[in-house]
Structure 1
């Protein structure tokens, strides 16, 4: 089977958006790279030099309470650390969903990414943010692309770009976020939401 068969047939035929903070990178069905197969990446930063994001749907077995107990009460269930990507796995990155009415302009600890989705400064006092957050996640490490690298992958058909929803960040543990995101996209993407984890199982 050609390495990028599914990506070429699907994502290359669709209208493309540009990546930007608060957008999702949705891995193509059958993506060859095991690190990003069936992943949904939230873009945190995108500029002419690099792109940085976190994988939203890779939960670890490590509880937040075991390493950052002061933040545990603010976590959405399941209260586990998620694996944001292969780069700097010892670094912690916070992403949260704010409650309605929270003023983000000039906020000392929140950086707005999309509607109600914020990058959370983990240097803050969690108690000071408790009344402003609906829920949040902590990600170990991040996913990074150097200048031009992500553009090449998008052109090749590895990624589809879609707007993020707050529910993507705090999705329940049993949710198949990759399939859920595909289902809400324009046709024909919903048809691929049932693409098997292992092609041999189909």
Structure 2
């Protein structure tokens, strides 16, 4: 049986939205897309956190190939010295060299792929420094405690998501009391 978030399976492509009460600083206000989930744990990237590092300095030549805002994203606290590239091929029936599908039309693009093969081959491309990771049953425990919320569904457009308002937009689409949390402010007197 697949682990669930409010009756939605925790599978690659599922969006996790940090609870408004999450104030640990690591995942506060985060939206994470899961890339891998199995009995050994789970792995995902934070979609809405821009890195302080320059993409041009870290991976020369890649910046103009990425989707706006053409920067390096902070994918999470694990392996910050490594990078993960999510990409959506421009042509639905093609699987370009160096690309491996994950969910919908989103896949991993190997960053050793020659830039001339990448240019024009993708309709969306984003690079993340680091990732978020959970050990066996750790994510399920966090979900049960309410650290991650939402009636969340697989998101094939996650590579194009804007960063600043993503958390509020994803919560707002949930409807009901959960959707009300989209207007959450860190100052309780304003809520």
TM range (shorter): 0.7 to 0.9
1:51 aligns to what SS in structure 2?
strand
Rounded to whole Å, the distance in 1 between the matches of 2:25 and 2:62 is 31
Question: Cα RMSD between the aligned structures?
Answer: 2.1
2:9 aligns to what SS in structure 1?
coil
1:193 aligns to what SS in structure 2?
helix
Question: CA, structure 1 residues 98+187, in 2 after alignment: closer, same or farther (shift >3 Å)?
Answer: farther
Listed as ranges, the matches of 1:117-156 within 5 Å are: 117-156=106-145
Rounded to whole Å, the distance in 2 between the matches of 1:78 and 1:199 is 32
Listed as ranges, the matches of 1:29-68 within 5 Å are: 29-68=20-59
2:80 aligns to what SS in structure 1?
strand
Alignment partner for residue 171 of structure 1, among 146, 161, 164? 161
1:26 aligns to what SS in structure 2?
strand
Q: Tell me the alpha carbon deviations over residues 48-69 of structure 1, each in whole angstroms, 9 at most, x when there is no partner.
A: 0011111111102333122212
Quick check: 1:76–1:137 contact (8 Å CA) kept in 2? yes
Listed as ranges, the matches of 1:187-202 within 5 Å are: 187-199=176-188, 202=191
Quick check: 2:50–2:74 contact (8 Å CA) kept in 1? yes
Q: Tell me the alpha carbon deviations over residues 117-171 of structure 1, each in whole angstroms, 9 at most, x when there is no partner.
A: 2221112112212232112111111111000111111111111362243443222
Could you tell which deviates more after superposition, 139-148 or 55-64? 55-64
So what's the TM-score if we normalise by structure 2?
0.86
Rounded to whole Å, the distance in 1 between the matches of 2:189 and 2:132 is 28
The Cα of 1:181 is off from its aligned counterpart by 0.9
So what's the TM-score if we normalise by structure 1?
0.82
Q: Which residue of 1 aligns with 2:77?
A: 86
Consecutive unaligned residues of structure 2, counting only runs of 5 or more, are none
Question: CA, structure 1 residues 48+108, in 2 after alignment: closer, same or farther (shift >3 Å)?
Answer: farther
Q: Which runs of 4+ in 1 moved over 4 A?
A: none
Instruction: Report the count of equivalent residues.
Output: 186
Rounded to whole Å, the distance in 2 between the matches of 1:109 and 1:56 is 22
